[in-house]
Amino acid sequence: MTSARSSRRTPWFKVRKSSVHGKGAFALRRIRKGTRIIEYLGERVSHEEADRRYEIKDENDSHTFLFVVDSKTVIDGGTGGNEARFINHSCNPNCESVIEGKRVFIEATRTIEPGDELSYDYQLGRDDDDPPNVDEIYACRCGHADCRGTMLWPPKRPQPASARTPRSGAAKTAPAKTARSKRKAAVKRSKPRTSAKVPRR
């Protein structure tokens, strides 16, 4: 009883400096696979509003906290957000984002030990009008052996018609429907901004 109580008081993680990027979220105790760790909170705005808020940002600034819920709604973790926005991207993550009833939750996909950094795969969507250096802007530094080098998904930029299949339109950023793909940012990135949560400094 006592231990259950005290563990209830101990938060799952704490935010501190990360070697991956800016700040990160680190487990304070063992988190079992399947645990719903935190809800991704922030002001819920339209895509238009999200665009408006971040369009003035430098194109090379990947430091925003937008999370696409669906074709109508984006969560802006930069306004009224919680610590979920500090969870970094990884290509080999121990968490995933789950969209349920238009709310977004971060859940453990495996058992996480105290001290481990929490992460999930942002899978930022690609857009037809992404600048050529979009992969640099959203470069991944997770350091895993299987790092794909980018926080974007699909991992490779669709090739121009000449080089590949004539279809490059796939990256259309359909609203996050399939809960666990598509998540974060992205949908609707007319500019690379809508992106990742990388902590600002």
The contact set with Zn ion (CB under 5 A) reads 91, 140, 142, 147
Q: Name 96's bridge partners.
A: 107
Nearer to Zn ion, 11 or 22 (CB): 22
Least distance from Zn ion to the Cβ atom of residue 193, Å: 20
Least distance from Zn ion to the Cβ atom of residue 58, Å: 23
DSSP character string of 27-50: ESS-B-TT-EEEE---EEE-HHHH
Nearer to Zn ion, 74 or 140 (CB): 140
Q: Which residues of 128-141 are buried (b: 16+ CB within 10 A; e: fewer)?
A: eebeeebbebbebe
Nearer to Zn ion, 74 or 142 (CB): 142
In total, the chain counts a number of residues equal to 201
Nearer to Zn ion, 57 or 148 (CB): 148
Least distance from Zn ion to the Cβ atom of residue 121, Å: 9
Least distance from Zn ion to the Cβ atom of residue 143, Å: 7
Q: Of 127, 120, 105, give the one whose Cα is nearest residue 51.
A: 127
